[in-house]
C-alpha cells in the first residue's frame, strides 16, 4: 500500500532573535552533539508536512499525534529509526515547545506488550509485560519509555497504528528543539519502513530564517527532470545498517581536484568508513586529511586573510559582502552526480565580526564521514528507496519550482 504525505519543515531557530555569531556557535555545538548521537546509534492519500529550521539538530517537521490530534513538532531524523515523543505523566522530561502528549487522553493509543514481535527484548519479560525502549548516547543523553502504536496526522490526513516510543524519562540534548523525533532511517522500525513507501523527499529551507520547506512521502516524491542521481549505498554491518550512504568520488574547487583519502570514503571490514547523508547534522564532516586539503585549497583560492577562531577551522576576514560573487565553485563529485554548492551552502557568514567560515569540519576519527544539512539547503533531495537511488535538484528557495 503506497502512502503520499507532504509536510512543512522549518529550522528550530526560525523564530529566535539570534545574530550571526550566536548562530555559528549554536551550529557548531549541535553538530558535534549530533556526531555523538550517530556514533552511538549507529491507501493512496496525499499529505503534506511542513519543515522549519529548529535550532538544535536543525529541522522540524510539523505534524500531530493521537486522537484527538495534538501538535507534534518532530526532529527530522534520516539517520535514526525510532519515532518518539515525550509523554505525560513524565518522570523527568526536557522542555519542549508544545504540551506533553498524554496517552490517557487519546482513544487511538495502544501499548505494545510482550511477546509482540515488534518488541526487541522480551526474552527476560513475562507475557503481557510492557514493551520498553531505552536510547543512550555517547554524550550521556538518554530517552526511555514505552513502545506503543498511535495515529499520526499530516494536516487532516492520518496514518493509523504507527509504532513509536512514548518517553517518560529524557536527559540531555535529545529533543532537538521539538517534541521528539520522526525516524526516517532505513531500519525496519522507521516510519518509512512501517509505511513501506517507495520514496520520500525533503527540501530544507535556508539556515537561520523563517522560510518553510517540505517533507513528502510516497508516490508524489519523485526526482524532477534534470536532477542529479547517485546510488544509495547500504552498509551491511551493524550498527550502521540504518544509515543512508553515498559514494564520494572527489571534490573540486573551481575545477581544481582536491586530493581525498579514498580509503576513508569506502567501507572497511568492520563497517566503518563511507559517507552518510544526514538531515540532522548541520555541518559536513570529512576525514581529517581530506578536510585539511579542502581547507587549504579554499584558502588559496579565496585569497582573504585567514582568521584563527576557536569554533571553525577555516575562517577568513571578510572586507565586504560585495565580493561573494568571486567565491569559487565548490563541487561534490558523487558516483554519477556532480553537486555544485552555491557559496551560501559551503560558507557561513559572521558579519558582526567580519568573518566568513567554511561550514565543514574534520571528523576527528569518527567511524564515517557526513554530508550535512547545511550543504543541502534549498535543494530537493529525493530518497528513491525502491531503486536505491538519491537525487539532488537545487532550487533558489524551497518554495520555488525546480
- pLDDT digit string, tens, across residues 62-106: 999 999 999 999 999 899 899 999 999 999 998 999 999 999 999
Instruction: Tell me: pLDDT of 24 over 70.
Output: no
Residue 46 β-bridge partners: 4
Nearest CA-CA partner of 356 in 58, 22, 55, 20:
20
Q: Which CATH number covers residue 371?
A: 2.40.70.10
* HSE (side-chain half, CA atoms, 13 Å) at 357: 29
Instruction: Give the pLDDT confidence score for residue 30 in this predicted structure.
Output: 57
255 and 157 in a common domain: no
- DSSP of 242-302, one letter per residue? TS-EE-EEEEEETTEEEP--TTTTSB-TTS-BSEEE-SS--SEEE-HHHHHHHHHHHHHHH
Average pLDDT, the chain: 87
Question: Quick one: 319 exposed, middle or buried, by C-beta within 10 A (0-12, 13-18, 19+)?
Answer: exposed
- Least reliable range by pLDDT among 114-123, 261-270, 296-305: 114-123
Instruction: Give the pLDDT confidence score for residue 386 in this predicted structure.
Output: 94
Instruction: Give the pLDDT confidence score for residue 235 in this predicted structure.
Output: 93
Is this structure's pTM higher than 0.75?
Answer: yes
Query: Does any domain span residue 218?
Result: no
Which are the contacts of 293, defined by CB distance < 8 A and separation ≥ 6? 258, 259, 260
The whole domain housing 314 covers 228-394
241 and 134 in a common domain: no
Instruction: Give the pLDDT confidence score for residue 44 in this predicted structure.
Output: 43
Q: Percentages helix, strand, coil for the chain, rounded to the nearest 5? A: 15, 40, 45
Mean pLDDT of 246-268: 96
235 and 174 in a common domain: no
- Domain's final residue, options 197, 219, 243: 197
254 and 335 in a common domain: yes
238 and 192 in a common domain: no
- pLDDT digit string, tens, across residues 294-345: 999 999 999 999 999 888 999 999 988 888 888 999 999 999 999 999 999 9
190 and 238 in a common domain: no
309 and 168 in a common domain: no
Query: Does any domain span residue 110?
Result: yes
Domain count for the chain: 2
Q: How is the beta sheet containing 355-358 ordered, strand by strand?
A: 306-307, 315-317, 355-358, 347-350
Amino acid at each position: 500500500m503506497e502512502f503520499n504525505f507532504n509536510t512543512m519543515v522549518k529550522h528550530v531557530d526560525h523564530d529566535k532573535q539570534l545574530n550571526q555569531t550566536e548562530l555559528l556557535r549554536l551550529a557548531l555545538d549541535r553538530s558535534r552533539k549530533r556526531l555523538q548521537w550517530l556514533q552511538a546509534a549507529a491507501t493512496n492519500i496525499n499529505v503534506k508536512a511542513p519543515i522549519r529550521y529548529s535550532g538544535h539538530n536543525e529541522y522540524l517537521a510539523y505534524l500531530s499525534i493521537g486522537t484527538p490530534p495534538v501538535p507534534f513538532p518532530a526532529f527530522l531524523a534520516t539517520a535514526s529509526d525510532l519515532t518518539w515523543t515525550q509523554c505525560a505523566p513524565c518522570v523527568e522530561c526536557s522542555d519542549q515547545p508544545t504540551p506533553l502528549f498524554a496517552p490517557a487522553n487519546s482513544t487511538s493509543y495502544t501499548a505494545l506488550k510482550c511477546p509482540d514481535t515488534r518488541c526487541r527484548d522480551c526474552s527476560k519479560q513475562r507475557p503481557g509485560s510492557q514493551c520498553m525502549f531505552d536510547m543512550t548516547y555517547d554524550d550521556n543523553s538518554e530517552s526511555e519509555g514505552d513502545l506503543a502504536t498511535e495515529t499520526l496526522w499530516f494536516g487532516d490526513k492520518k496514518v493509523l497504528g504507527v509504532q513509536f516510543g512514548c518517553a517518560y524519562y529524557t536527559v540531555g540534548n535529545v529533543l532537538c528543539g521539538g517534541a521528539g523525533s520522526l525516524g526516517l532511517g532505513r531500519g525496519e522500525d522507521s516510519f518509512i519502513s512501517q509505511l513501506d513507501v517507495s520514496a520520500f523527499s525533503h527540501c530544507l529551507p535556508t539556515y537561520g530564517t523563517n522560510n518553510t520547506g517540505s517533507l513528502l512521502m510516497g508516490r508524489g516524491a519523485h526526482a524532477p527532470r534534470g536532477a542529479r542521481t547517485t546510488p544509495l549505498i547500504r552498509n551491511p554491518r551493524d550498527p550502521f545498517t540504518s544509515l543512508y550512504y553515498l559514494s564520494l568520488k572527489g571534490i573540486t574547487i573551481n575545477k581544481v581536484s582536491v586530493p581525498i583519502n579514498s580509503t576513508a570514503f569506502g567501507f572497511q571490514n568492520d563497517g566503518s568508513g563511507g559517507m552518510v547523508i544526514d538531515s540532522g547534522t548541520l555541518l559536513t564532516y570529512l576525514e581529517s586529511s581530506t578536510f585539511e586539503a579542502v581547507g587549504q585549497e579554499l584558502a588559496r583560492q579565496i585569497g582573504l586573510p585567514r582568521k584563527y577562531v576557536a569554533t571553525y577551522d577555516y575562517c577568513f576576514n571578510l572586507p565586504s559582502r560585495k565580493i561573494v560573487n568571486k567565491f569559487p565553485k565548490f563541487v561534490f563529485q558523487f558516483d554519477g552526480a556532480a553537486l555544485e554548492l552555491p557559496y551560501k551552502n559551503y560558507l557561513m557568514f559572521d558579519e558582526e565580526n567580519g568573518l566568513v567560515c567554511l561550514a565543514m569540519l574534520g571528523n576527528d576519527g569518527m567511524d564515517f564521514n557526513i554530508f550535512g544539512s547545511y550543504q543541502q539547503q534549498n535543494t530537493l533531495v529525493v530518497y528513491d528507496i525502491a531503486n536505491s537511488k538519491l537525487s539532488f535538484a537545487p532550487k533558489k528557495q524551497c518554495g520555488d519550482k525546480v
